[in-house]
């Protein structure tokens, strides 16, 4: 499974961003793409909706992400930014609507670096950890440990 972080440019400037942790641990298994409103990334456009999904806040067509779905996906897109930035990126990127949407339920965020504006909102690293865990990926523990250390640091 490859994780595609569609990242808002402002997110890269923040010390509190967790997308960089995902990339640091997953290296070639993760790709960061800077979101551009007017120029969609061609590699994202080329992904097959049959083996790609997007994890995003709940929409009317969102499915619950079950373990068996995660194991069959080759690509997962995560919007990397604040909730406001993610909403903007999603709304201004109509090509994302062609991918099945999943939501992660029953998880609470442990992220302490920023105030969470969504009751059940997970940060980027927490979403990646959840997905890796469901896929029994060997990098899960390493990313979890890296996130825990990052989250506890001042």
Model confidence pLDDT, tens digit, residues 33-43: 999 989 999 99
Q: What is the mean pLDDT of residues 139-148?
A: 98
> What is the predicted pLDDT for the residue at 148?
96
**pLDDT at residue number 105:** 76
For the whole model, what pTM was predicted?
A: 0.91
The pLDDT, as a whole number, for residue 118 is: 58
Confidence check: pLDDT of 64 > 70 = no
The per-residue pLDDT for 101 is 83
Residue 134 CA, chain-centre distance (Å), reads 14
Each residue's pLDDT tens digit, 79-134: 999 888 998 999 999 999 899 888 887 788 888 887 655 556 789 999 999 999 98
């Amino acid at each position: 499974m490859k994780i595609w972080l569609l990242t808002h440019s402002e997110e890269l400037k923040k010390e509190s961003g967790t997308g960089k942790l995902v990339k640091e641990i997953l290296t070639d298994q993760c790709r960061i793409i800077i979101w551009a409103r007017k120029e969609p990334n061609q590699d994202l456009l080329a992904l097959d909706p049959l083996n790609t999904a997007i994890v995003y806040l709940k929409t009317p067509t969102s499915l619950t992400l079950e373990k068996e779905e995660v194991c069959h996906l080759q690509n997962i897109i995560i919007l990397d930014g604040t909730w406001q930035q993610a909403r903007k990126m999603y709304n201004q990127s109509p090509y994302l609507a062609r991918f099945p949407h999943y939501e992660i339920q029953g998880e609470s965020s442990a992220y302490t670096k920023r105030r969470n504006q969504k009751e059940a909102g997970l940060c980027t690293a927490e979403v990646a950890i959840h997905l890796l865990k469901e896929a029994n990926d060997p990098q899960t523990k390493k990313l979890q440990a890296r996130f825990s250390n990052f989250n506890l640091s001042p």
